[in-house]
Amino acid sequence: MEYQSGFHSSMKYDFGAQISPGVWKIVLKHDRTEFLAHDITETMVGKSPIPGDEAPADPALLLNAGGNSVLNPLLNILNHENLVGLVEIISTQASSAGGSPKTKHYAVWDYCDAGVLGNWFQPEPYQNKRTKEFDDKEWDPVPETETLDEHMDDQARKDRLENIMESIRDLEDRGGNPQKLEELYSLFQQEQEEEFTNVKKGDRYLPESFCWHVLISVLKALSWLHDGSKNMREDEDGVITIAHDRDWEPILHRNITPSNIFFAHPKRDEWYGRCKLGNYSRLVISNNHPGNFDEDENIGEGKKLVRNHSKALAPPRGTKFQPLKELIGLDADYGHSYPQKVKQPYTILSEWRAFGEIMQAMMMTPSSDNHLNTVRHDTVERNLGGLDYSSLLKNIVLYLMTFNPDEKDQEGKFAFSAEEREAVTTDLLAKAINDFLAWRKSDHPEAKKWIIVEQEYQRENQEDEEVNVAESYAQNQVQDVLNKQDKLFEEVEEPPAKRVK
């Protein structure tokens, strides 16, 4: 038995170059749009007890289960402008010289031809351009009024901060002397203050417009995965709101890294092409549902619709499966700890923190081969405090790194209402878009000149509509001429009427 997919649909593509083992560039014949075809034959075809015969593997059975096939729901889930989309699955016949033809199965994906964000996180290569010898006059002695610590380089200071933090964690774990802990905290704060004075006002890395582009794009992808949110609307005051699907089961990506944020080249006059989140090898559908409304619970004035306090949980990134009961117990122990611990369950806020680190890395000049690790060495306040980016952008990143929907006040009550905890990623996206629109109205030179991809798509759609109207008008004109010609021919061919005597 063979896996039956869209064999006929493969005829609409031309196969091009193989860009990596098992991955081919293909193009649509009618408009030359490029895609990637990933050979999934080994995944789809299992071993058969009959030699030389093919049997469908489990994924093939799932994707070819007639009315219960998961292919269409899968295509719908990945059909988002900011996700690397799965277009379809096709089959072709291929044969080597002298061999019999064999069926090959391919997953067709969006082609992001401009690389990944991780390419930007490499430090500048060191180039020694010195052409003369050293001499002692070039080295200034350390003044007697200054200490050696004041001449430590940035990396040594970061190492010192890390060592202090390790001592603090170790002392806390052992329940050590409170006075010693206080001394370590004081020393850590002092070191941070000294390091902060070394940050030059005006320092920045990637352009702010590019940071906004990635921020909005990835948050759109995450709000769709987490909350099923797609539709945006603008109220009469110009404020953007976004509706989410109340019956959506949150999907956790679990692999938000710079190498999984892809870009396409600009197609028209926009500064940056589409930004898409990809690589779904660790994706988990949580099966979590926030619960039904409770119309009997009273909060403040009158009755309000309230949901329960459950949340989406998934195994840590390195674990494929873990019983829900274990995850609930571990989540009670770890909560929303940061940085993410090895055994800590993965949650929506884990996605936020991972993306927040990436946003910080985009704003800080790389100083080591592991740029994200450098980001984790310090707080978001200290990483971004002295950098030359708008407070609107920095505050969104701060929110990504510090928001806790389960935060409670001193009386043990939730600081945020049930509605505020229901679709937190969608709410953050709406806030980010509104802050972005406010930034666009500012005097920032990039804000005024930046041509965004949505503008160009709108222009393209408008131009296509104008072309369609013009073509329709031309066709109507031609049809009118043909109708007039037909009428003339009918009059010529019609015999004269007989006279009545």
pLDDT tens for 174-205 read 766 767 767 776 776 666 555 444 444 468 89
| Residue after which a domain boundary falls, among 78, 111, 144 | 111
pLDDT (0 to 100) of residue 255: 95
Q: What is the three-class DSSP state of 244?
A: coil
Quote the pLDDT of residue 145. 46
Category of 302 on φ-ψ map: left (φ > 0), alpha (ψ -120 to 50) or beta: left
Q: Which of 206, 112, 280, 212 is nearest to 429 (CA)?
A: 212
Secondary structure (H, E, C), 404-444:
CCCCECCCCCECCCHHHHHCHHHHHHHHHHHHHHHHHCCCC
Residue 376 lies in a domain: yes
Instruction: Give the pLDDT confidence score for residue 51 in this predicted structure.
Output: 54
Q: For residue 40, give the 3-state DSSP assignment.
A: coil
| pLDDT score at 70 | 81
Tell me, yes or no, whether 176 lies in a domain: no
> 316 and 441: one domain?
yes
β-bridge mates for residue 275, sequence order:
263
| Total domain count, the chain | 2
In the listed set 49, 80, 111, which residue is the last one of a domain according to the structure? 111
> One-letter amino acid identity for 478?
V
Q: What angle is formed at CA 421 by the lines to CA 418 and CA 423, rounded to 5 degrees?
A: 120
Q: Are residues 83 and 217 in the same domain?
A: no
* 235 inside domain: yes
Distance set, CA 257 to CA 143, 262, 372, 488 (Å): 45, 10, 9, 71
Residue 394 within a domain = yes
Give yes or no: residues 220 and 107 share one domain: no
Whether 62 is in a domain gets the answer yes
Quote the pLDDT of residue 388.
92
Confidence at residue 57, expressed as pLDDT on a 0 to 100 scale:
73
Position 349 in a domain? yes
Helix 348-363, helix 391-402: angle, nearest 10:
140
Same structural domain, 299 and 448: yes
**CATH number of the domain residue 53 falls in:** 3.30.200.20
Alpha helices in 64-148 (DSSP H): 71-77
Tokens of 5: 């997919």
Say if residue 241 is in the same domain as residue 100: no
**So what's the pLDDT on residue 164?**
76
Instruction: Give me the residues of the chain with pLDDT under 50, please.
Output: 1-4, 142, 144-152, 195-201, 294-303, 305-306
Domain extent, residue 64, equals 8-111
Distance from C-alpha of 305 to C-alpha of 82, rounded to nearest angstrom: 32
Is there a single domain that holds both residue 219 and residue 75? no
Instruction: Say whether both 223 and 369 belong to one domain.
Output: yes
What was the pLDDT predicted at 445? 87
* The pLDDT of residue 200: 45
Q: What is the pLDDT of residue 152?
A: 47
- Residue of 93, 36, 86 whose CA lies nearest to 59: 86
Angle 93-96-98 from CA coordinates, rounded to 5°: 115
User: Is 190 within the bounds of a domain?
Assistant: no
Based on the fold, state whether residues 230 and 347 are members of the same structural domain. yes
Same domain, 307 and 430: yes
Same domain, 105 and 212: no
Domain boundary among 64, 80, 111: 111
Is the residue at 312 inside a domain?
yes
Tell whether 84 and 223 lie within a shared domain. no
pLDDT at 295: 45
Among 360, 378, 367, smallest CA distance to 162 is for 378
Give phi and psi for 362, each to the nearest 5.
Answer: -70, -25
Tens of pLDDT, residue by residue over 37-47, are 999 988 877 66
83: nearest Cα among 267, 225, 284, 247: 225
On whether both 221 and 367 belong to a single domain, the answer is yes
288 closest CA partner among 307, 308, 312:
312
